[in-house]
Amino acid sequence: MDSAWLVLLSLAFGLVVGATVVIVLVLAERRARRVAALVETSLPDGVDAVLDALESAGLVIDPSGNVVKASPGARTLGLVSAHQHLVHGEVEDLVDTVRRHGDPEARELTLARGPVGEATIFVHVRAAPLGGRYVLVLAEDRTEGRRLDDMRRDFVANISHELKTPIGAVGLLAEALESASADPEQVRHFANRLTKEAGRLGRLTQDIIELSRLQASDTLEKSELVDIRDVVSTAVDRNRVEAEARGIQIVSRGGKHARVFGDPTLLSTAVDNLLSNAIHYSPDGSHIGIGSTVGDDGIVEIAVTDQGDGIPDDELDRVFERFYRVDPARSRRTGGTGLGLAIVKHVVQNHGGDIRVWSQVGRGSTFTLRLPEAHVESPARPTPVHTRGD
């Protein structure tokens, strides 16, 4: 074969081989890019910063179901495990649905708060595709709103129940009073009962109004310095007559002079309610102690101790609930509304404090209000002004 043809064939073969190699390399590079895209863990620009600044719960899920990024709120809600996986199957189902259909999806979910116990959280979860391979999950915690709605419904139901009894009693007594108009003794008896029920209805209405006012956001707009000794002495004076009528001695223990910022009327009402409760649940001829102290941590404590029947351990956490009574029969007999301790709790919380209770059945109870002490700098002594002739 002519050498020229051999050269041409060699060149052609070389071109074919070279083109084939180039095509293979290009295809390999494209495939490598696709594989790299599938295993790439970097997020679209700006997503990291947004999730770090997000107060609510935010998650980014990769195709393997791993959490590649989570906001602090998501970890607080317990949506992410220590191994960077979703904790709740309900959220996984939502992510799978979005991945299959490619459209945003939103659901109201009830999730377990933790791995143990029966506590739950109520969240509104919305998921949407993010880029080509991720799913963005946003969760809004609505547990507090649900709790407040439940409390509101319970409150209305309780009010209806509590008001029904005295209103019904007033109606029945009015009828009995009319039918006994010819008997002066019966008239006095029913009139006395009617006065008691009317008083009870008035107290209940007043407590409901007071509790509603305390739940307003502006209850402490006009705070002032309040002397704790004045609050204690006011509460003692209000209850002294009732205590003496039953032979109950109120022992007031003087404490270190302390002041707090707040509403003096509300604070006096809180201590008054505690002292009134102590009198109602104490036997005749017993002692009740009340006093204040200031700890090294700057916390003012006002304690009221009685010698009553005490509160069982399983009911201690419920005594501050609205309308809850340890002894319903006795509370009704003494004219209690079941709102006194709820009012005390709200007053203390509005003043930045808390209330604690210790009790032992058969020995009595101690309720302690804890409030932050007001630290007020002493006013500077005015500088004398000298004029000519001084």
Q: Are 204 and 307 contained in the same domain?
A: no
* Beta-strand pair 249-253/287-294: parallel
Confidence of residue 362 (pLDDT cuts 50, 70, 90): confident
CATH of residue 177: 1.10.287.130
Q: Are 230 and 277 contained in the same domain?
A: yes
Confidence of residue 382 (pLDDT cuts 50, 70, 90): very low
- Find the Cα–Cα–Cα–Cα dihedral 92, 94, 98, 103, rounded to 10°: -160
Q: Residue 339 in 3-state DSSP?
A: coil
Is 199 a domain residue?
yes
pTM of the predicted structure, to 2 decimals: 0.50
Is 9 a domain residue?
no
Q: Are 265 and 295 contained in the same domain?
A: yes
Q: Are 96 and 199 contained in the same domain?
A: no
| Domain end among 162, 190, 215 | 215
Written as one string, the DSSP assignment of 208-266 is HHHHHHHTSTTTTTT-EEEEHHHHHHHHHHHHHHHHHHTTPEEEEEP----EEEE-HHH
CA nearest neighbour of 238 among 276, 264, 265: 276
Is 6 a domain residue?
no
Arithmetic mean of pLDDT over the chain: 76
Q: How many residues would you count in the chain?
A: 390
Looking at the DSSP assignment, which residues form a beta bridge with residue 290? 252, 304
CA distance 267 to 59: 45
| Domain end among 84, 112, 141 | 141
- Output the six-digit token pair for 362: 């058969």
Is 29 a domain residue?
no
Reply yes or no on whether the pLDDT at 36 is more than 70: no
Q: Tell me the per-residue pLDDT of 257-300, one tens digit each, with 9 for 90 and over.
A: 788 888 888 888 889 889 988 898 888 999 999 988 888 788 88
Mean pLDDT value of segment 176-196: 75
Q: What's residue 260's pLDDT?
A: 87
Is 181 a domain residue?
yes
Confidence of residue 125 (pLDDT cuts 50, 70, 90): very high
Q: Are 352 and 241 contained in the same domain?
A: yes
Confidence of residue 84 (pLDDT cuts 50, 70, 90): confident
Reported as type and span, the H/E element at residue 206 is helix 184-214
Q: Are 163 and 195 contained in the same domain?
A: yes
Q: Are 68 and 173 contained in the same domain?
A: no
In the chain, how many domains are there?
A: 3
Confidence of residue 221 (pLDDT cuts 50, 70, 90): low
Q: Are 237 and 365 contained in the same domain?
A: yes
Is 69 a domain residue?
yes
Q: Are 211 and 224 contained in the same domain?
A: no
Confidence of residue 211 (pLDDT cuts 50, 70, 90): low
Q: Are 347 and 223 contained in the same domain?
A: yes
Q: Which range of residues forms the domain containing residue 51? A: 47-141
Instruction: Report percent pLDDT > 90 for the chain.
Output: 13
Q: What's residue 149's pLDDT?
A: 72
Q: Tell me the per-residue pLDDT of 319-347, one tens digit each, with 9 for 90 and over.
A: 777 656 555 444 444 445 567 788 888 78
